[in-house]
Amino acid sequence: QVQLVESGGGSVQAGGSLRLSCAASGRAFSSYAMGWFRQAPEKEREFIAAAPWSGSRTIYADSVKGRFTISSDIAKNMVYLQMNNLKPEDTAVYLCAAATAWTPMLVTPRTYNYWGQGTQVTVSS
């Protein structure tokens, strides 16, 4: 049973930073791709970033490119999302997700097999 647990959300003023963490457990993730999404009230789930569990390839949404960084710590089974220069429009529930392989469709939520419960990020102006 794969389990993903996010942490690190909170409230911050515009221009501030947060680092989200995703603890993964339940199986070996070496071939997996990990992603971060966000969902604001009454909006569709939005792709943020993806990276292979091991490797250097990354994909970012244009809205966060240059501000957010996805990374992983294989030894700790952790995935991170460093968020800098936060804006009020970044306010949402942020979710960690795992896909069983790297594919060109990682920007699409239905590509992912496992999801965390989410952590709230609120950015005030």
pLDDT, tens only, 87-125: 999 999 999 999 998 888 999 999 999 999 999 999 999
Assess whether pLDDT exceeds 80 at residue 28: no
The pLDDT value recorded for residue 5 is 97
Tally DSSP H helices, then E strands, for the chain: 0, 11
User: Given this model, what pLDDT does residue 66 score?
Assistant: 97
pLDDT, mean over the chain: 94
Work out the pLDDT band at 79, boundaries 50, 70, 90. Answer: very high
The pLDDT of residue 77 is: 92
Strands (E) across the chain are located at: 3-7, 10-13, 18-25, 33-39, 46-52, 59-60, 68-73, 78-83, 92-99, 114-115, 119-124
**Alpha carbon distance 81, 84 (integer Å):** 10
Distance CA 90, CA 110 (A): 22
With 90 as the cut, is the pLDDT of residue 31 above it? no
Residue 35 CB neighbours (<10 A): 27
Residue-level pLDDT at 56: 81
Separation between Cα atoms, residue 91 and residue 94, nearest integer Å: 9
- Residue environment code for 65-91, b if the CB has 16+ CB neighbours within 10 A, otherwise e: eeebbbebeeeeeebbbebeebeeebb
**What's the pLDDT at 116?**
97
Beta bridge partners, 52, equal: 33
pLDDT higher for 30 or 124? Answer: 124
